[in-house]
Amino acid sequence: MSILNTDKTLPANKLIFEVRRDVRLRERFSTDLEGLMSDYGLSEAEKDALRNADLERLGELGMHPYFLPQVTRLFRGAGYNHNESAAARLYAEKMLKGKP
């Protein structure tokens, strides 16, 4: 998982980029994730990884590394970001699983 493996055509990249910038899309992310993912043309693999906030899999599929922590913020909130925030804990849980 590196910036060199980013797939610029991956629909999930476009979805996260646009959701971060549009309050209506952020609301829809919270209330109609399935419809939003379908509208953006995500593959079943992307949908499954996003539903489960499977950051490792999203990285393998070609999501830009910058967007991985953005995914956790969309699921757990972006206010008061710090190492113990809900988003930071989710990121650590998903990225450090099974690692010392």
Amino acid identity at 38: S
Residue found by looking up tokens 């990249």 in the block: 13
Range of the domain at 24: 3-95
* Other beta carbons less than 10 A from residue 79's beta carbon: 9
Contact 74, 16 (CB under 8 A): yes
The structural domain count of the chain equals 1
> Over pLDDT 90: what percentage of the chain?
64
User: Is residue 38 situated within a structural domain?
Assistant: yes
- pLDDT tens string 35-78: 999 999 999 999 999 999 999 999 999 999 999 989 998 988 87
What's the average model confidence in pLDDT over 15-30?
Answer: 96
Q: 37 versus 90: which is more confidently predicted?
A: 37
User: Is residue 54 situated within a structural domain?
Assistant: yes
User: Is residue 55 situated within a structural domain?
Assistant: yes
Which H or E element spans position 35?
Answer: helix 33-39
User: Is residue 100 situated within a structural domain?
Assistant: no
Burial class (CB within 10 angstroms; exposed 0-12, middle 13-18, buried 19+) of 8: exposed
User: Is residue 9 situated within a structural domain?
Assistant: yes
